[in-house]
Structure formats: structure tokens, C-alpha cells
């Protein structure tokens, strides 16, 4: 890595939390003011550990015990082996290790863990586990630098990004990726066709299988954990997009469509897919089969082109798994709410329940600058239906390259969607955090509320805008209702009164109600009594 690059990254614990490890597995511990603690799933790596020495030039320390010569996680799971990665994940997810192995063996879960990325902490993507969130970063030909992208990666994982995709299309693609991988505590994904296109000066017609293959191997050697491959964009599907409102919106999809039309041949990604699967299996790189024909507008949702490609991705899933390679399937896109669930149903039916990884989907097209919200709505619905990982959308979607603030806003919006889906699915332990925060809210433990939230800094900032004094952190009200109209304070007063008067049990309450009923009868069952003189 070039010594002249000087990234500045955010380090130190998240407010109200400390870093702990259980059998080497990281967690974010929130120490509550009532003497209890709450441990949260943590994606931030050593950057939030005050005892860690961070040197971005050297990269993160490698995880010990990485096995490189026993095949892929899929092959080992099929052989009945619980790998070190599976054991790590089981503790991290609070699930039995055998469940992790079984889901991977069935192809319903993947563990993106290239042998050459030992800096990454093992994680799993599958619908039996917590819904995951990916954050896209990367430069463009117009803006950004290596230092900025490394900072974005650390920032995104600090706020909960489970994986990162480096989608760089500008200069220094290889070096940018090297810096990101060596410093990333989470799996890193790429779209190799972008770098392959750079090698032919941006002309899709000059691409060849050999150029693409060599690019894939280069990225495998670096340690990329999963790669988007748009092998389902076939020549015969391109005309199906002709009458779309927004045509082909996937960059990779449009590149391969242009190549197919220029050569009037089937995509080399499709014709050489078995060779590609062997390469992926050699390094245990996970396929992320790209939806190059995904709809880019509500008008194009669930059309013939989209589902034709999905059927082909189902064929390719079987081929990849036959070669021992792990597979997940990418999904749309722009889909109105009533059409979202059909996407999950078809993906599971056609692709043998391979983990679904979706971009949103955006539930409406009318909100540029707020597409982190439009897409989080769709993301929550599709995740409840079974999607395993959500690719975030930032406020800059359709408008420009996201900056640091946009990355955080996108990650937080998608952590909300993912957690809401986990709650709806009844995922084990999902509600525990809600219950802990709700209890803290009812008991006016403001600092505990902040610490348990997805974004403690912003929660505290909003509270302190109107009540900045430290005594306000123990006050039994906030600035919304004030001291006299706080419903929770009034409820507590009612409970205190009930306790003082022996009305803190169901029997006592029923007895008191019977007493009042008898008193009402004594006065003639009259609703209105005469005014006392």
C-alpha cells in the first residue's frame, strides 16, 4: 500500500458502550445505570477497542487459524464439519453451531470468507439469521480518494454495516481495494466487470473472457470475499428491456448487454461460468449473482426481463454449488409494496432458497434526496418475507456520490429496516433490545436510552437541543410534553398511588371497584348527584 496515502479514521468506543470479547467474538456492551448490561452484535472491528493499536498502513491483524486447504465453507459443511468460522458465527448470532452448518450445507446461508482476507471477522448471510446490511462505497471518475473511501468503510462498519462493497470506477481501483480489504473487519464485495472495463479504456466491446478472468483472479488473490457477476444477462433477454421506462439501470448489466449486442454472442460470463465457479471455489469466494436486468422504476417492476434473468440465475446457482462455490442472489430495485413479496417467493422457488440480497427495493420513485427512506420501506417488507441481506441506499442515490454523512444515514435507515424485519419474523432475541430501551424510556433513564439506540450520538444531540443541562438526564419528562403532560410520568404516578393504597394486585383492584360500585348503588344509581348546599 502506498505510504503517501494518509487515511484518518474514527476510533474509540461508541457512546455509552465498551468493547468486550467472549471466546474471541466481539460484542458492544452497554452498561446500564440500573447495574445491568446489554450486549449487542458488533461490526466495528478493532476500531472501537481502546486497547487496539490502529495502523492503517499495516492493516488489521489477521485472524489466527484460517484454513486454506480443506475446501469451501459449503463443501466442509456438506461433509459434516463445523468450521472455526461456523463456531464463531454461532456465538455471535446466539444460535447453535449445528444450525449454522446445516443452513450453509443446504445452500440457504453463506459465509463470505476468502482465505486471503483473514482480517475479516466471520459472519453469515441467511434468512435463519439476523438480517444483514451492506454498505456500498468506492470512488468514481469524478470524485473521492483512497483516504476518503477507507474512512467511509470504517465509518459504515462503526454504525452497523455487516459487509462493504467497493464499487470504485475511478482511478487506482486496485490500490483502493487493497487499502479497504487490509483494513476491513467485515467481508468485502466487488463487481469485477468495473475493473475489467477500466483495463479496456471503458469500451465494453473490447472486453474478453481472458481479461475478465484475470481480473477476477487478481481480486481473489487480494482477498475479495464475494463478487457480483452479471452472468444472467443473456442476449435474448436484452430486447425485453426495449419498452421499459428506464431500460437497463445496472452498470454491470448494461456493460454485458452492450457486449452481447456488439458481438451478437452469448455473454462470456454465462458461457464460461463453470470455469468461473472453479476459480471462486479455489479461494472460497462467494458468488453474488447480479440482477443486471433489475427494474429501475416502479413502471418496470416484475416484468418479463427481470424474471427471465432470475430463472437463469436459478440455473447458475445449481452449477456454482455443484462446483462447491457458495451463492447468493441479488434482487431489485424499484418495486411497489404490493409486488414485493412475489420477488422473494420466485427467488426461493427458482434459486433453491439461496440467500436473497436486495437493493432496497424503493417503494416509490418520487423522492430524490430521501431514497434512504423510500427504499427502507421496501427493504423492511422484503426482509420480513425472507431476504437475508439488504444493500443500503443513501440520500444521494440517483443524485451523486455519497459522503460520510450519507453513508451513516443510509446504514442507520437500513439497520432500522433489518431490525424491524427481525422483530416481525420472531427472530430469537430481536425484541430484547426493544424491551431494554422501552424499560429505560419508561423509567426516564435517558443515558441508557441513548446508549441502547442505533445512533446514540444523534439521540443525545436531539434531546440536548432543548434540555442540555445535566439534571435533565434524570428528569421525568422531555421537551415534547413538559413535566405536567408526560404520559409515562402520569402512569408512574398512577402506579405509585395504587401501590400506596393497596391497589397493586388484580384482587385489590377488583375489590376497590366493587366498593365503588356499591357506593354508586347507595346513591340511587344516579350518574349526576344533586349539588350539595
One digit per residue, the tens of pLDDT, for the chain of length 533 reads: 665 666 789 999 999 999 999 999 999 999 999 999 999 999 999 999 999 999 999 999 999 888 888 899 999 999 999 999 999 999 999 999 999 999 999 999 999 999 999 999 999 999 999 999 999 999 887 777 899 999 999 999 999 999 999 999 888 899 999 999 999 999 999 999 999 999 999 999 999 999 999 999 999 999 999 999 999 999 999 999 999 999 999 999 999 999 999 999 999 999 999 999 999 999 999 999 999 999 999 999 999 999 999 999 999 999 999 999 999 999 999 999 999 999 999 999 999 999 999 999 999 999 999 999 999 999 999 999 999 999 999 999 989 889 999 999 999 999 999 999 999 999 989 999 999 999 999 999 999 999 999 999 999 999 888 877 676 666 665 655 666 656 666 666 666 667 776 766 677 677 777 877 887 788 777 766 566 55
Relative to beta strand 389-391, strand 356-359 is parallel
First and final CA of the chain: distance in angstroms? 94
Burial state string for 346-372 with b = 16 or more CB within 10 A and e = fewer than 16 = bbbebbbbbbbbbbbbbbbbebeeebb
Residue 515: what pLDDT? 79
What are the strands of the beta sheet with 25-31, ordered from one edge? 17-22, 25-31, 37-41
Residue 490: what pLDDT? 62
Instruction: Extract the runs of DSSP E, i.e. beta strands, from 159-209.
Output: 163-166, 188-190
Helices (H), 304-350: 304-322, 340-350
Residue 493: what pLDDT? 66
Residue 285 CA to residue 434 CA, distance in Å, equals 36
Burial state string for 321-337 with b = 16 or more CB within 10 A and e = fewer than 16 = bebbbbbbbbbbbbbbe
Residue 142: what pLDDT? 75
Give kind and range of the element (H or E) at residue 437. helix 430-442
Instruction: Give the residue range(s) of CATH 3.20.20.540 domains in the chain.
Output: 73-428
Asked if residue 54 lies in contact with residue 84, where contact means CB atoms within 8 angstroms, the answer is: no
The residue length of the chain stands at 533
- Report the SS3 class of residue 372: helix
Fold of 73-428: TIM Barrel (3.20.20)
Cell of 310: 432470475
Give kind and range of the element (H or E) at residue 182. helix 173-182
Instruction: Extract the runs of DSSP E, i.e. beta strands, from 12-107.
Output: 17-22, 25-31, 37-41
Cell of 285: 469466494
Give kind and range of the element (H or E) at residue 136. strand 132-137
The number of angstroms, rounded, from the C-alpha of 301 to the middle of its chain's C-alpha atoms is: 23
pTM of the model: 0.89
Amino acid at each position: 500500500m502506498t505510504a503517501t496515502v494518509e487515511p484518518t479514521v474514527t476510533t474509540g468506543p461508541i457512546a455509552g458502550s465498551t468493547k468486550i470479547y467472549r471466546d474471541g467474538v466481539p460484542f458492544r456492551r452497554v452498561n446500564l445505570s440500573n447495574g445491568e448490561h446489554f450486549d449487542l452484535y458488533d461490526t466495528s472491528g478493532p476500531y472501537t477497542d481502546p486497547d487496539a493499536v490502529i495502523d492503517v498502513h499495516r492493516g488489521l491483524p489477521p485472524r489466527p487459524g484460517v484454513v486454506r486447504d480443506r475446501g469451501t465453507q459449503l463443501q466442509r459443511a456438506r461433509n459434516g464439519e463445523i468450521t472455526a468460522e461456523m463456531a464463531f458465527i454461532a456465538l455471535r448470532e446466539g444460535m447453535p453451531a449445528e444450525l449454522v452448518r446445516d443452513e450453509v450445507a443446504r445452500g440457504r446461508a453463506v459465509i463470505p470468507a476468502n482465505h486471503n482476507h483473514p482480517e475479516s471477522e466471520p459472519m453469515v448471510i441467511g434468512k435463519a439469521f439476523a438480517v444483514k446490511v451492506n454498505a456500498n462505497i468506492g470512488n468514481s471518475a469524478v470524485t473521492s480518494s483512497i483516504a476518503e473511501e477507507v474512512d467511509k468503510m470504517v465509518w459504515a462498519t462503526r454504525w452497523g454495516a455487516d459487509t462493504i462493497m467497493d464499487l470504485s470506477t475511478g482511478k487506482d481501483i486496485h490500490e483502493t481495494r487493497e487499502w479497504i480489504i487490509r483494513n476491513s473487519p467485515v467481508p468485502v464485495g466487488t463487481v469485477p466487470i468495473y475493473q475489467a472495463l477500466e483495463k479496456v479504456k471503458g469500451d465494453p466491446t473490447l472486453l474478453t473472457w481472458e481479461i475478465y478472468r484475470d481480473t477476477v483472479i487478481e481480486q481473489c488473490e487480494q482477498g475479495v470475499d464475494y463478487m457480483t457477476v452479471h452472468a444472467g444477462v443473456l442476449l435474448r433477454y436484452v430486447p425485453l428491456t426495449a419498452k421499459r421506462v428506464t431500460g437497463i439501470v445496472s452498470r454491470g448489466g448494461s456493460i454485458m448487454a452492450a457486449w452481447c449486442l456488439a458481438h451478437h454472442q452469448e455473454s462470456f460470463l454465462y458461457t464460461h461460468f463453470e470455469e468461473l465457479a472453479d476459480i471462486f471455489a479455489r479461494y472460497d469466494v462467494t458468488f453474488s449473482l447480479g440482477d443486471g436486468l433489475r427494474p429501475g422504476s416502479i413502471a418496470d417492476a416484475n416484468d418479463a426481463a427481470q424474471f427471465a434473468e432470475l430463472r437463469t440465475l436459478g440455473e447458475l446457482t445449481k452449477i456454482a454449488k455443484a462446483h462447491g462455490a457458495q451463492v447468493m442472489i441479488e434482487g431489485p430495485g424499484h418495486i411497489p409494496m404490493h409486488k414485493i413479496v412475489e420477488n422473494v417467493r420466485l427467488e426461493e422457488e427458482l434459486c433453491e432458497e439461496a440467500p436473497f440480497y436486495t437493493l432496497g427495493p424503493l417503494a416509490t420513485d418520487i423522492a430524490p434526496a430521501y431514497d434512504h427512506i423510500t427504499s427502507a420501506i421496501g427493504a423492511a417488507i422484503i426482509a420480513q418475507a425472507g431476504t437475508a441481506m439488504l444493500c443500503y441506499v443513501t440520500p444521494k442515490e440517483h443524485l451523486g456520490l455519497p459522503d460520510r454523512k450519507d453513508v451513516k444515514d443510509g446504514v442507520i435507515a437500513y439497520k432500522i429496516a433489518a431490525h424491524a424485519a427481525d422483530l416481525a419474523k420472531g427472530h430469537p432475541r430481536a425484541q430484547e433490545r426493544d424491551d431494554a430501551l422501552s424499560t429505560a424510556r419508561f423509567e426516564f433513564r435517558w443515558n441508557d436510552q441513548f446508549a441502547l439506540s442505533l445512533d446514540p450520538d444523534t439521540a443525545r444531540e436531539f434531546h440536548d437541543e432543548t434540555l442540555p443541562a445535566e439534571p435533565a438526564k434524570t428528569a421525568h419528562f422531555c421537551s415534547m410534553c413538559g413535566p405536567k403532560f408526560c404520559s409515562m410520568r402520569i402512569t408512574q404516578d398512577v402506579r405509585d398511588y395504587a401501590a400506596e393504597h393497596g391497589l397493586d394486585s388484580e384482587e385489590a383492584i377488583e375489590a376497590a371497584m366493587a366498593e365503588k360500585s356499591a357506593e354508586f348503588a347507595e346513591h340511587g344509581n344516579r350518574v349526576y348527584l344533586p349539588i350539595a348546599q
